[in-house]
Each structure stands twice: as structure tokens, then as C-alpha cells.
Structure 1
Amino acid sequence: MEFNADATFVPGDWVPYFFPGIKVEVFHGMARNKRGHSSEDESDHYRIRGWFDLYCTHAEKDTAKFQELAEIHRHFSVAHTGWPKLDPLLRNAVQGPRDRAGDDLPVVFYASTFSRSVTSAPLLVKKIAELASSGRWKFIVTLHPKMDPAVVEQYRRLAGKHLRFVESDEDLLPIFPEADVMLCDTSSIMFEFMFLDRPVVTFRTKMPGPYLIDVNDVEEVEPALEKALGYPRDLMNETRALCNELHSFRDGKSSGRVLDAVEDFLLERKPGLRRKPLNLLRKIKVRRRLRRELKRGVRLSSQ
């Protein structure tokens, strides 16, 4: 607030309404979710809560949907920009199979979400330990910051010659290109990895599709990883089709388009819009939430 910002960029679905300047939705992830593709999930993704002045969308489908909603509500604008988070991956990474020397072991990037109903981490820890110690594979492992600390510690203890544990606060995008295949469950991180044009194996995912090799039994994991290393044609075609659906751009310049969209909004679009709704109940909830977070921050800083 002291900075008196012209724009606040929001990778979430709410923002302190009293911040100065326009509120720009850039989204936490792409238009996929942990429960699949039901109409209920889609309606939640496109729910207009009245916080944002500008939605910066990733692909043609979500742009068209948000534009349709903008014409109904008339208090926000839409710009098709792409997702800034993907910029370093698309700009710097080599796509397709990793260039491996003959004696290089295949590398698996394992990532798991924290929700107990969908996480694979407790179920796969013994199998990943076995595969890493077999001398047939290398692993890079990262876990969601909200993962059960006891489970995190189990994986930390596996770190060694063939397993690297990556803390949750590290930037993962620069690490992605080191892996040949991803092993995941129902974390949206797998969609980011797919933009390397490399395969993904999942364990009991809640987001099944032809772009994944999904298994239900622990003993099926290694055969699935071996299959993925062969880059099955149908699997990779479906992966590329999904990436095209999720994100229109491959130039790594989405951040620039977002800034251009903000400038265009401030100069051209803002004057023609209605005022955002009052949102009195939601504003009260935001202030309560901020007070809780402030108290939590004070407690943590005093520990």
C-alpha cells in the first residue's frame, strides 16, 4: 500500500480489496484440477467473485469463456496472455528426450500433492527407496509444502547417490529438464512438466486421461516408468494435444504480454467498465482472514 501500486498480480482467487490499483488475476495453475473434468469443477474455475479488474488467460478455451462472462458482468476485462510461470521453462529448456550418455541412468522426477485423499507419497516411499537403491534409476523428489512432516522426513532420509531430495521452497522449473520422466499422483505440477514434451506416469490419479500412464498397484510403477521411457507415440500425441489446449504460447514471453495487457487496461479499457460489486460479506471475510494470518505470522516470528 505504501508503494501505491498501479496493479497487484494475484496467483489465487482472492485479494485484499483495499490494495490500491487494479487487481490482475494470473492464476495459480492452468485450467485443470484435482477432481477431474466435471461441470462442477469447471464452474468453480470460472466463478466470478468480484475481486478482479483484469483476467490474464492462458489458452483459447478459457479466454473465450472468461470473455463471455466479461460481457455479462461488464466490470472486468480479459486478455489472452499465457502463464508467466512457464516463461523460463519454455524459453530455456530443451524439449523432447533428454540427451543421455550410454551409461547414464534414467532420471525420474517424483512429485506428490499433500491431500490425504490423493497423495501417493506414503504408499510409494518403500518402492522409491527400492528403485533408487537398485542401481537402475535415479530420482529427484519433491513434496508439497503442506505434506505431513513425518512423510517428508522419510523421503529426506532416502537422499543419497541415486536420490536427490528437493525442498519445497526451491524453484522446480530449472530442475525439470534433468528428468526423463515424471512420477506423480494428482498434483498440477505434472501439467507443467508436460511442456518439456516428456511423459508422465501417475499413481491412482484423480485426473486420468490418455496423456498419462496411470497405475493402481505399487508393483506396476517400475514397468510403467520403463514404458514411458519409450515415448509411446499415442501417449506423446495426447500429451502435446493437452498442452496445446492448456496454453497457447511457446515463446516464453507471457510475462511481457501480461504487462502489456495491464498498460492497455489502464489506458483503454478501464474507463468503459462498470464498478465492481460491493461484496460486503466477502470483504468482511477477507479482513478476518488477514487478521488470522497476521496473528499466525506474529506467533511464528516469536518462536
Structure 2
Amino acid sequence: MIFFRLTMAKEFLIDCYLFLFKIIFLICKRFKLQNKIVFVCSYTDNIQFVYNELIHRQLDGTDIVFLCRGKAAAGHFAKTGSCVVPFETGDVVALLRSAYHLATAKIIVVDNYFGFLSVATFKKNVQCIQLWHACGAFKTFGYNDHSVAYRTKRARKRFAAVYQHFNKIVVGSDAMKEIFKQSFGLDETHFIHLGVPRTDLFFDLAKRNEISKNLQRYCHGKKIILYAPTFRDKPIKDGSLGLDLKMMEQALSNDYVLLLRLHPAEKGMVDLSGQNPQFVIDGSNWSSVNELLLATDLLITDYSSIPFEFSLLERPMIFFPYDLKEYEKSRGLWGNYKQMVPGPIAYSTESLIELIKHHVFDLSEITDFSNTWNHYSTGASSSHVADYLEECLKQSSEQIEGHQFYLARRSGRNDQ
């Protein structure tokens, strides 16, 4: 009963927010479209790479606006000097500004699920592009997320409305495209094979060496193990990570350091004050997880999407799904997890240590995994996406001008 009441209260607040947003958006639609790209961000890497490419091209007369969900994204993009507006907050002024920019932009780029899309009816020439924040997926989302069954009929209708607003979805592989098709209920026409922009970093050898050297300064010349567990619906309690850090230190500290990277939603929730800072290093505040991957010798993770990008480096990884049965039941996984992962599986700290000490890895398995999930990510994805955005701007302008010419002829005001 309590869960039901909380769910209904949450739905009521969402409905109120979206109703207010819809009214403001409809008013703002009275303004004409501008040569403007609005990035709606919950993450940073993909959009940052595309933004860098657009700035490099010096697109005259094109404005760029960031609508940022979360302080991390807002703080990150504030450094660009472009317009940054907090998004999905209680700030009424920010809501007004957000609705205005979304109603007057020719291109909307989103990197996640955003509820406003369920009530935002864009003008005819506007393109909404989904630049998803991951290269692949073990855990289900969208229609296939197990938690959807516990949501209200109204909420499920809202989800469908959001997905239908994606004119195009950028993909890095046919494998991920198939997952999107099932998750969002969209057909083949909604996908563009441009690759995932943030993977360009893995093909920049000079940048890779620079970042790797900088990180090695924290690691005293030892090999780096990166532990990056995924977000769980149940918050971390009593500092538990499923991993015995003291046992890891005793067994591995002579040769390794352990870099801990928590999900942004769980950052700061684990007390590391009792750990040896020479062995356990908190990497949760590092701005880019991909930069951490460049210096990582061995990855330990569970259901995170990080392995899909890490596989580009063809380095070993171990999978640590210590709560596999519970997670699979509550959240859902695509297919047989044990067959999907490109590395050995451990369910205890002791097993992890044994795998690391005996170096039980098949790198050819990782290469095959990367070829499957990074097929279109070949080092130029940022450029490909920027090309597409430029073309959308051009087509939108031509369509608008053509429409205005048609109206002028209808009204008898054309001088030609």
C-alpha cells in the first residue's frame, strides 16, 4: 500500500510538471525557429565530442545551448562558454528558458530518456536525435525494463510518447540497433549508423598516451585494476560494494592498485576512510570514465556498459555479478548473461583474486566482442554526427524558406 501511494504521488508530480511544461512550450512555439542546436544532457562525453567538432568547424550563425540534468553535466558544460540551463529542476525561470530553447531550436539532441518529449510537439522541420549514452547493453531498458510492469498505465503511455519523438537514433553497431528496436518499439528507418562519438578517444594514440601517463602518476608504476560496478535500484548501504577491499589489498597490492569508479548516482556513498590510499584510489570524481579506461590494465565490472568501449583496447576484464539472480529478476538482462560477457565470471572476492593471479583471459574473445558492438565506431564518429547535424540544419533552412515562399505566393505577396 505504501509503495502504491508513493508511486501515485510521484506520477502526480510528474503530470503536474509536464502539464506546466506543455503550456509554456506551446506559448514559446509562437516564436520562429532559430538556427540553433539544443543538447539535452544527463551525461557529458558523447555530447562534448560532438560539440568540439562543431566548434572546430566554426558554424557561423548557429547557436548551441545545453540543457543539463544534474550538477555534474551543468558544471562540465559551463566551461564551454555556451548557454547552459539547469533542466528538470524546481527553478521556474530555468523551466521557462528550457521550454523556449526547445520550442525554437531546429535540432534537439538527447542522450537519455527525458519525459518532456511526451508533451512537446515540435514544429514540422525540427529533428530530435537520440545520442544514447552507451555503446551496448547487458541490462534491459525501455519497454523491456522489468520495472515497467509496476508503473501505471498513464506512465507507460508517456514512455511510448517519448520514444516516438526520436526521429533518429545514432548507433555504433547492428547489435545495439536491435536492442533499441525492441526497447523503443521503433523500426529500421529511425537509425543512423554513425558510430558513438566518445569512442573516438580510443583511436587517438597521442591522447591515449598523454592521459595514461598522467594517471600513472597516481599509481606508483603499478598495474591498474578498475572496479566499476553499475547502478543498482537499491542504494548502497553500509559501504558494501560486493567486494572485500581489504582482501584484495592483502593479495594484490604488491603489483596492483585498485581504482574505484562508482556510478554518478552513488558517488560519495561509500566510506573509503578505512582503506589504504596507496591501494584504493577513488576515481568517481574523474570527469571521464573513458579516460580512466585508457590507463586501466584490468577491468572488473558487472552489468555496466563500460566493457563495450573497453573492449576497443583489447585488454582483459573480469565480470563480478555477485547478485546475478536478484538483479536479473528485478531489472532484467538481455539474453544469457554468462554467454554474453567476453571474460571469466567470479562471484566472490576469492575467485576474483585467483583469476587475476593466474591471468585467466582469452583476448580473442574480447576482440570478437568489440567487432560486434563497435562495428561503426572507427575513430571518426564525432565527425559523422557533426556532418549529419549540419545537413539537418541545411535541410531545415531550405524547407522553411520553401514554405515561406509558398505562403507568399498564396497571399499574392511574391514579387517574382
TM-score interval (norm. to shorter): 0.5 to 0.7
Q: Structure 2 residue aligned with 1:238, among 365, 370, 383?
A: 365
Residue 294 of structure 1: aligned partner: none
Q: 1:67 to 1:204 in 2, by over 3 A?
A: closer
Q: Does 1:9 find its partner at 2:128?
A: no
Q: Does 1:198 find its partner at 2:315?
A: yes
Deviation of 1:204 after TM superposition, in Å, equals 2.3
| Counterpart contact for 1:59–1:247, Cα < 8 Å | yes
Residue 145 of structure 1: aligned partner: 264
Deviation of 1:129 after TM superposition, in Å, equals 4.1
Residue 290 of structure 1: aligned partner: none
Matches within 5 A, 1:40-189: 40=144, 49-63=163-177, 77-92=190-205, 93=208, 104-115=221-232, 121-131=241-251, 134-147=253-266, 149-150=268-269, 152-154=270-272, 157-158=274-275, 160-168=277-285, 170-189=287-306
| Counterpart contact for 2:136–2:308, Cα < 8 Å | no
Structure 2: distance between partners of 1:115 and 1:65? 21
Deviation of 1:111 after TM superposition, in Å, equals 1.0
Structure 2: distance between partners of 1:163 and 1:212? 23
Measured against aligned partners, the alpha-carbon deviations of 1:256-290 in whole angstroms (never above 9, x if no partner) come to: 1112223344556997xxxxxxxxxxxxxxxxxxx
Matches within 5 A, 1:202-241: 202-204=319-321, 206=324, 207-209=337-339, 211-228=342-359, 232=361, 235-241=362-368
Q: 1:256 to 1:68 in 2, by over 3 A?
A: farther
Structure 1: distance between partners of 2:378 and 2:260? 28
Structure 1: distance between partners of 2:265 and 2:180? 31
Measured against aligned partners, the alpha-carbon deviations of 1:89-110 in whole angstroms (never above 9, x if no partner) come to: 232437xxx9x9xx94322111
Q: Does 1:254 find its partner at 2:356?
A: no
Structure 2: distance between partners of 1:201 and 1:7? 40
| Counterpart contact for 1:57–1:83, Cα < 8 Å | yes
| Counterpart contact for 1:54–1:79, Cα < 8 Å | yes
Deviation of 1:197 after TM superposition, in Å, equals 0.8
Q: 1:86 to 1:2 in 2, by over 3 A?
A: same
| Counterpart contact for 1:129–1:158, Cα < 8 Å | no
Measured against aligned partners, the alpha-carbon deviations of 1:24-55 in whole angstroms (never above 9, x if no partner) come to: 1111212312269xx957xx9xx882121111
Q: 1:124 to 1:187 in 2, by over 3 A?
A: farther
Deviation of 1:16 after TM superposition, in Å, equals 2.9
| Counterpart contact for 1:184–1:202, Cα < 8 Å | yes
| Counterpart contact for 2:127–2:392, Cα < 8 Å | no
Q: 1:204 to 1:139 in 2, by over 3 A?
A: same
User: Which of 1 and 2 has higher RCO (CA within 8 Å, sep 6+)?
Assistant: 1
Percent identity between matched residues is: 18
Q: Does 1:23 find its partner at 2:153?
A: no
SS at match of 2:375: coil
Structure 2: distance between partners of 1:262 and 1:127? 50
SS at match of 1:191: helix
RMSD: 4.1
Structure 1 stretch displaced more, 175-184 or 199-208 = 199-208
Residue 33 of structure 1: aligned partner: 138
Q: 1:141 to 1:89 in 2, by over 3 A?
A: same
Unaligned runs of 5+ residues in structure 1 are: 272-303
Deviation of 1:69 after TM superposition, in Å, equals 11
Pair member with larger Rg: 2
Structure 2: distance between partners of 1:85 and 1:73? 25
Structure 1 stretch displaced more, 179-188 or 83-92 = 83-92
Unaligned runs of 5+ residues in structure 2 are: 1-99, 149-159, 325-336, 400-416
| Counterpart contact for 1:159–1:165, Cα < 8 Å | no
AA at the equivalent of 1:147: E
| Counterpart contact for 1:144–1:168, Cα < 8 Å | no
Structure 1: distance between partners of 2:315 and 2:229? 18
Structure 1: distance between partners of 2:288 and 2:248? 22
Structure 2: distance between partners of 1:126 and 1:63? 41
Structure 2: distance between partners of 1:140 and 1:218? 16
AA at the equivalent of 1:242: F
Give the structure with the higher percent helix.
2
AA at the equivalent of 2:271: E
Structure 2: distance between partners of 1:202 and 1:64? 24
Residue 289 of structure 1: aligned partner: none
Structure 2: distance between partners of 1:143 and 1:183? 12
Could you state the TM-score of these two structures normalised by the residue count of structure 2?
Answer: 0.51
Structure 2: distance between partners of 1:57 and 1:237? 24
AA at the equivalent of 2:248: I
Structure 2: distance between partners of 1:160 and 1:226? 22
